[in-house]
Structures are given as structure tokens and as C-alpha cells.
Amino acid sequence: MRTIVTGASGLLGRHVAEALLAAGHDVLGIDTVAPVGGAWRHITADLTDLGSTLQLVRDCDAVVHVAAIPRPTGRAGGEVFKTNVATAYNVVEAAAMAGIGHFVYASSFSVFGYPFFEKTVIPPYLPVDMKHPVGAQDPYGLSKWLGEEIVDAAVRRGAFSAVSIRMPWIQTPQSFFAGVGPRRATADSARDLWAYLDARDAGQGFLKALEWQGDGHLRVLLSAADTFMEEETEALVRRVYPGVALSRPIAGYGAVLDTVHARETLGFAPEHSWRSYPKPETEG
């Protein structure tokens, strides 16, 4: 298919574009900056401008909307919210007006309230699945939830079918030990529910979302099959969340984000784990 990937120059967008290219898609990346490498066609544009978005999002079969400020830290909350919601609205509206048949939206497990909450969120049960209540508190999580609702509104009026993909922290073998390593030694690791997703598996998840043949708006949760911790999961849950019930046993280092629904609907199964990442060389 001829597919537009917004945010294709970023970490997630790059892996999505690469996965689609490898599967034979004709990919056009749209981002505010040019990609480093990448074999897809690229246009530099600001998608917070509706006119530019309407001009660019056309003449394709599908749109994958990844572009967003990826966290509520380091920028004013208002900027994060305004940018992400405006971009989602503009890209959805442009896709609807262009008569594009399929839309995939990069959401976040932050819609559940993790990990950027101000008032502590205690899981009602574990593992977290798609029945977990939405509970965003921060501008990023709220923007992602509203993005899903913008997609849903377009689906309700018959614009296209769509998949919204909720994901935790995206990681690569190059980023993991520097980013996650120090955090897992702190209590803040529980805010993440010790969850991550290899960027290559994320790319495959988006590819499978494009191949989904259903109608309506499908929302799914992706995750690696394990946590990013070195402590077995049930012991970890008992220690950190002693009052939280397990809806099913979690063997070994199994993840506390449940991807059964994604497997049943999209055929998604994560293949990569940080446990097979090459460890960085140490000095001395």
C-alpha cells in the first residue's frame, strides 16, 4: 500500500517506516526534521498546521500517525497537550477528507495513568489488560487518550477503519542499558509497571495493524513478553503492590501488560527481549 507515516524521523516512527518498507509498502514519511538514513520518501512539515496537513495527507491508501511530543517532561505541559491534540485532529481530519480507508494511531499505555501520574495510581489488578480503566492525569497521557477519541469520532461517522496501539517505553539494544538500567534501581520503576517494548516489535505491531481487515476502531495493548527487571514478576508484585490481586499467574519474568488481545486480533507476538541485548563494555 501507499502509506504515510507521520513522525517517521523519530525512534518509533523510524522503526515503523522500516517495517513497512520491508513488507513492500510505498512509504512517505512526514516529520518536522529529516530522517538520519532511511530509504523512504520524506517531506518536512509541521502537522499542527491544518492547511499543510490537508495538502500532504492525500493520494495514499493508509495513514500511520506516530508524530507527537513523546513525554510530558522537558516541555511545558500546555505545549505537549496542544501539539499532540492538534496534530492528531489535523491528521485524522485530513485522512477522512481524503477518503483514506485505514488509519493506525500510536497511542500509549499512559492513557491508563502510568507512568506520569501526580496522584499515585494503584493497579486495580494485574496484569493490565484492555479492561483496565482509563485514568490519565498528565498532559501527555490525556493527549493520547483524546487522540484515540478523535480517531473514534472519525470511525463513527464512517471515515475509515482504525487501530489505536497502546505501548509502554520503547527501547532498542542501544538505548536500554543507558535509559532503563539506572531507573530499575529506583522505586520509580514501578511507575512504568516495569514495562517496555522493543522498537522492532513495535514496528511489526504497526505492520499487523495495517493488515487488520476488521471494521470499526480496534484498540490494542502491545508489550514485550517480559519486564525490564531482574526480579521475578510475582515476587516483584507482592513486594511493590502487596494488595493488588493477580487475575492469572505470571510465570518467571513475565510482563504485567497483557497482550493476549493483540495476539487474538492482530496476530501480534513480541520476539525481542532485553535479556538478549549485548551488554555494553565497561571500562577498567
Which run of H or of E encompasses 209? helix 199-211
- Residues of the chain predicted below pLDDT 50: 283-284
**Strand, coil or helix: what is 269?**
coil
82-118 tens-digit pLDDT: 999 999 999 999 999 999 999 999 999 999 999 999 9
CB 274 within 8 A of CB 228: yes
48-94 tens-digit pLDDT: 999 999 999 999 999 999 999 999 999 999 999 999 999 999 999 99
Cell 516489535 belongs to 201
C-alpha span between 63 and 106 (Å, rounded): 11
Give me the residue spans of the domains in the chain: 2-274
Q: Which residues lie across from 50 on neighbouring strands?
A: none
**Strand, coil or helix: what is 30?**
strand
CB 226 within 8 A of CB 203: no
Q: What angle, 0 to 180 degrees and rounded to 10, lies between the N-to-C axes of helices 139-156 and 77-97?
A: 20
Residue 100 to residues 41, 144, 164, 236, Cα–Cα distance (Å): 19, 22, 16, 45
C-alpha span between 109 and 202 (Å, rounded): 13
Which run of H or of E encompasses 233? helix 233-240
Residue 281 pLDDT: 79
Residue 282 pLDDT: 63
Q: Single out the residue of 269, 236, 256, 244 nearest to residue 195, CA to CA.
A: 256
Question: Domain 2-274 falls in which CATH fold?
Answer: Rossmann fold (3.40.50)
pTM > 0.85: yes or no = yes
